[in-house]
């Protein structure tokens, strides 16, 4: 019998956390978060908060690589993906989907 997993990402202002859950048992089989220290927040003015969206993507990839390795899971065993995100950040992108500036969070 092949394994069936559910993949979840929590994109927060301090880190990106990924968890892999066995779809049949509901047991969390692996969890990772990056960066391991709190992610930087830029504050150009008082009350402003911005982050580099590329950092979120890079940390999501690192977290995914770690949990897949830890669980010995294969991509085709992932049956669903859920993503939660920090409120309503704005990411402005160009025609190539590259961020134009830091995200307002």
pLDDT over 80 (residue 84): yes
Evaluate if residue 89 carries a pLDDT over 90: no
For residue 30, pLDDT beyond 90:
yes
Q: For position 90, what pLDDT does the model report?
A: 84
Instruction: Please state, in angstroms and rounded to a whole number, the distance separating the CA atoms of residues 100 and 75.
Output: 31
pTM for the structure as a whole: 0.86
Domain range annotation of the chain = 5-39+53-86
Cβ-Cβ contacts under 8 Å for 68 (sequence gap 6 or more): 20, 30, 74, 75
User: Quick check: 91 and 50 in contact, CB under 8 A?
Assistant: no
pLDDT digits (tens, 9 = 90+) for 33-74: 999 898 889 998 898 889 999 999 999 999 999 999 999 999
Does CATH number 3.65.10.10 belong to domain 5-39+53-86? no
Q: What percent of the chain has pLDDT over 90?
A: 74
């Amino acid at each position: 019998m092949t394994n069936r997993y559910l993949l979840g990402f929590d994109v927060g202002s301090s880190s990106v956390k990924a968890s892999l859950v066995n779809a049949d048992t509901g047991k969390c089989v692996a969890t990772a978060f990056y960066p391991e220290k709190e992610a930087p927040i830029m504050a150009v003015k008082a009350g402003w908060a911005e982050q580099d969206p590329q950092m979120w993507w890079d940390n999501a990839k690192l977290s995914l690589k770690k949990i897949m390795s830890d669980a010995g899971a294969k991509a085709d065993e992932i049956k669903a993906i859920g993503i939660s995100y920090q409120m309503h950040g704005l990411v402005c992108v160009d025609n190539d989907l590259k961020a134009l500036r830091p995200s307002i969070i």
